[in-house]
Structure 1
């Protein structure tokens, strides 16, 4: 359930976050003009001039795609925006890996990042919001632990000696800081829309953003190192560590498969999201929710953002979604033989090199009509 309070008249305190020294990786993406997740336009910034003039650096924060609050956070904490951008890149990579064999494969081609899919309140949009919020939190937290941020380091709150036979040591990941920044920056635009107008789509986005962060937070792990003679483990020192982001992606993909269709319900001054089917169990804080059914993504449809599956490679022996029958939407497929050259018959020579021959093998490529 998502509850949105009435507009707050008091001026709230803006969180400030530490600076980051690492530079941006370079990727080229087109601008997104969609009202949803417009801050992804940061992906088209090749770098942040951390050593440049102040006015040059602040210009990055004044791009039209950022809300006023996001722009203020950027200006006060410029160098941490490297982590925001890297988080967006990580989210896209994970999204494309998780959906590589589905009709919607998390494509970022065309004039907008993710096309128009974010304009529709489908479960695909829900997944993008959750994976992106989680990725930003993950990258910021990792930057804390690695010492890249000046005012954020390891989590020092887990220092009380427990009774389980180990003591806290090492560098526990500061997940509280990472999730707080993600919430402040990523949620800024939708939080304003939800408070002032109780927009159902804003409520949906906020819930899914938080679901992504909760999945990351709830799957923190205890990692330990043994100390003692000959590895006797007489003493263990342990710390809290984040899961690998691939694990987060797998969990959120499962949440995508079991996402709940919801509808807005007005109750007095509040608006909340309730399941469309009252026989279904109510969604939890880690479940994904959506407002509109997804298109079948079989054909090109500019209105929904569907790119269709024409020309996609498929597996003719599979009965799953990557199989030619389902992926090609029963339109049939074309099989072609292609010659590929690869290394083969490799031998190791002492010392120390490997010698291989070059072989040609024929592979069958199946593409959807």
Structure 2
């Protein structure tokens, strides 16, 4: 796969400098973006905002990413987490110059004394550090004004970027492999291992649901919780300053596409249910026919023959 920094036309000036210094890392950044988009769409597939990609917009997620809402908070965290995950794994696989296997020391209590600490672990220390430099430099450039709202938005985005990195870095696991005759597992080799990106997505989705609305002092330098009854947000909590649209109706300025035409589940009482998804506008039902391969048989050697089956199902879409 060939790559050039000149093809990354969405990079800020600082990120372009990173790209020139770490050009082989940029494939990992592209992978991270793809992972983040896919995971976001998985996590929100049954919600009014379903992480729709807007290919003709300057931002891949459209106007929703430019507002200081909880959706934007989630996107910043997810993309930052993706860079940690992708770069850490590429280090382990020997795909990058400047990093290799994890150099973390043997944990004192996580594994038994007789087990071997070795192998080639995911280099989360390097991934965390690179993500902090590459992802955060854009915020520091574009939101550089010394007073609110530029500075407060920068602090919000930097906070959420760090939440994403911590969602990976603080949940590293110990992976082990057994050795021994007849699968006895008399000896084990263990190493540093990333959590799955699905686990990271689940964790950040929970952070999205519990995100805290905040404001900043007039200078834009100090975070202040909106509701004084709740504790100050921690480094693991997503924060936002602007309420989200309800995403029921199209609102181009706020990034809402509306839910008209979205498929819903008429039996569900949750976010995918027709009541919530359709915003009480009602829904229409239709019978859709699907053609698929079925009753496949394997013939020695080496063919598979299948029949064609037709099935129908009821589909419900929002008005």
Q: 1:127 aligned to 48, 71, 74, which one?
A: 74
Contact 2:104 2:192 in 1 (8 A): no
- Does residue 212 in structure 1 map to residue 164 in structure 2? yes
CA deviation string 1:93-152 (max 9, x = no partner): 111111111111101125211110012111000000000000011111111111101221
Task: Classify 1:182/1:280 alpha carbon distance in 2 versus 1 (closer, same or farther; 3 Å).
Answer: same
What's 1:293 paired with? 243
C-alpha separation in 2, matches of 1:276 and 1:117: 22
How far 1:205 moved relative to its partner? 0.4
How far 1:226 moved relative to its partner? 1.9
Superposed, which structure 2 residues align to 1:144-293 within 5 Å? 144-158=91-105, 164-165=112-113, 166-192=115-141, 193=143, 196-197=146-147, 199-265=151-217, 271-293=221-243
C-alpha separation in 2, matches of 1:281 and 1:161: 33
**Equivalences, count:** 312
5+ residue gaps, structure 1, are: 1-22, 24-46, 50-56
How far 1:270 moved relative to its partner? 8.1
Paired residue secondary structure (2:105): coil
What's 1:43 paired with? none
Contact 2:152 2:220 in 1 (8 A): no
C-alpha separation in 2, matches of 1:331 and 1:342: 33
Paired residue secondary structure (2:289): strand
CA deviation string 1:245-282 (max 9, x = no partner): 1110011001101111111136xx88222321111122
| RMSD over aligned Cα atoms | 2.1
- Does residue 48 in structure 1 map to residue 9 in structure 2? no
C-alpha separation in 1, matches of 2:23 and 2:146: 28
C-alpha separation in 2, matches of 1:74 and 1:107: 27
Paired residue secondary structure (1:303): helix
C-alpha separation in 1, matches of 2:202 and 2:166: 14
C-alpha separation in 2, matches of 1:151 and 1:271: 36
What's 2:318 paired with? 368
Contact 1:170 1:237 in 2 (8 A): yes
Contact 1:332 1:368 in 2 (8 A): yes
What's 1:140 paired with? 87
C-alpha separation in 2, matches of 1:173 and 1:296: 40
Paired residue secondary structure (1:223): strand
Which range moved further: 151-160 or 119-128?
Answer: 151-160
CA deviation string 1:314-358 (max 9, x = no partner): 111111111111101111111111111122333444555443321
What's 2:309 paired with? 359
How far 1:196 moved relative to its partner? 4.0
Paired residue secondary structure (1:116): helix
How far 1:359 moved relative to its partner? 1.3
5+ residue gaps, structure 2, are: none
Contact 1:227 1:235 in 2 (8 A): yes
Task: Classify 1:197/1:70 alpha carbon distance in 2 versus 1 (closer, same or farther; 3 Å).
Answer: farther
Paired residue secondary structure (2:222): strand
What's 1:103 paired with? 48
C-alpha separation in 2, matches of 1:346 and 1:89: 34
Which range moved further: 337-346 or 167-176?
Answer: 337-346
